[in-house]
Amino acid sequence: MIQRFQIKKYLQGIIGLVVFLLVAAVLLVLQYYFWVLTIAPCVLIGIVAILVGIVRAAICVNCFVNGYRGGIMNGIFALVLIVTGLLLTFSPLEHIFALRYFISLYLIIYAITIFGDFYAEVTLTELEEDRMRRRTHISLPNLITAFKIKNMVTDIYKKIDDKEFEKKIYVEDKETSNFDTVNLEINLHLTDPKGNQFGHMDIAIGDTVYSYGTYDKSKNKLGGFISQGTYAEIPKLPYYKYCVENCGDNVISYGACFSEKQLDSVKEKLKMFKQYCVPLELKIRHPEVTVPKPGRRYGDAGEFLVQFLNAKIYTVVDGSFKSYFGVNTNCVMFADWLLSDTGIDAVSMGGLRTPGAFYYMLENMFYRPNNRIIRKISYFSTDGIEEKIKLGSNVEFDITK
């Protein structure tokens, strides 16, 4: 709520401190004088735990059905969350006092992960040339994270909708950085002005975008939430132009400067991954159309990538990405796996893998001084895109070699 006030940041901090202290005082009063009223928060936490547990159970089933790793861990998470949720929902008075100890322990662990950011900045560990190990953060509860990301996305759209805002390509370089060359970009697509999250995520290296998704429409179930895993290699410039001009996307691109060893790790993973891929031959319904109509968003993503952008589409026939699943084996998991040996921070442990969660992490990394995320480009327009896009295309990258 505090973020909704259009005031200076330091005033937000002061107001936030006062509000948090008032809330804490009210909770203390309720606990010791009107403790029955604290049942409501306990029940709310229980309901949220049940819902998240059901999602984890679905991920567990998906892992076992497709032979993926993580089934046992997600099953344990699901069991603990659902049992805890049922206890808190149906017998809050018996468990409300125990709940505060669990919350206190969680907050201590979360504080340690925040201290890890401070330690990384002071010791400059994330700038080591051949650092491969990643730091995984303990996430905030999914409900809180979702609201935080929704607020950040809403702020972006408020800025775009402002009559005085100039829609163009904005390039921001990190104020303090030991690097000046971008050799990999992590792209997040804002696809729906009324949505709460980013809609897609992919990685660009050199002149090519590497993307995992549901590009075979004939295999989609539940609106593409479950599908056959497919993979695309797309020429970067026409892809960005199509996303902005035809799809109406706003693309937020974070540029990283990796060492040669770190970038080679991405190449090796792509080479290994393509061993499980076979070319996908899509039927083009209107081959005579060679140029997309301005402003038209085409419904079949795979078809337009091949027809208009000369993309290469593959079906994943084996391995961990054989089947697409919206909350687990998705575009974020693919990108996160490609980056797993680059030393870049990992998506928060315990949170669901969504493009919004990755955006939240990258935004924080960009504004922290000592790491390898050094540039942010916001594509709100395509004017001058040919020149701007070269900022992330200055690397030779061929996964066939």
pLDDT digits (tens, 9 = 90+) for 90-103: 888 777 777 777 77
User: Strand 200-205 vs strand 312-316: parallel, antiparallel, or unpaired?
Assistant: unpaired
Q: Is the pLDDT score of 394 beyond 70?
A: no
CA 345, CA 116: separation in Å to the nearest integer? 11
CA angle at 236 for the pair 364 and 191, rounded to the nearest 5°: 55
The DSSP symbol for 310 reads -
The predicted structure's pLDDT at residue 44: 82
User: Strand 200-205 vs strand 136-138: parallel, antiparallel, or unpaired?
Assistant: unpaired
The predicted structure's pLDDT at residue 225: 82
pTM tops 0.85: no
* CB-based contact 191:199 (threshold 8 Å): yes
Q: C-alpha distances in angstroms, 31 versus 42, 47, 134?
A: 12, 21, 41
The predicted structure's pLDDT at residue 3: 47
The DSSP symbol for 105 reads H
CA 277, CA 234: separation in Å to the nearest integer? 16
* CB-based contact 266:217 (threshold 8 Å): no
* CB-based contact 230:214 (threshold 8 Å): yes
CA 238, CA 296: separation in Å to the nearest integer? 15
Using a pLDDT cut of 70, give the percent of the chain over it: 83
CA 128, CA 261: separation in Å to the nearest integer? 11
Task: Tokens 């005033």: give the residue.
Answer: 11
Q: Is the pLDDT score of 29 beyond 90?
A: no
User: Strand 230-235 vs strand 200-205: parallel, antiparallel, or unpaired?
Assistant: unpaired
Model confidence pLDDT, tens digit, residues 314-351: 999 988 898 898 877 889 889 989 998 888 877 765 55
Band of residue 279 on the pLDDT scale cut at 50, 70, 90 = very high
Of residues 347 and 364, more confidence is placed in: 364
The DSSP symbol for 313 reads E
Using a pLDDT cut of 90, give the percent of the chain over it: 16
What are the start-end ranges of the E strands in 153-286? 169-173, 184-190, 200-205, 208-213, 226-228, 230-235, 250-256, 277-279
The predicted structure's pLDDT at residue 142: 65
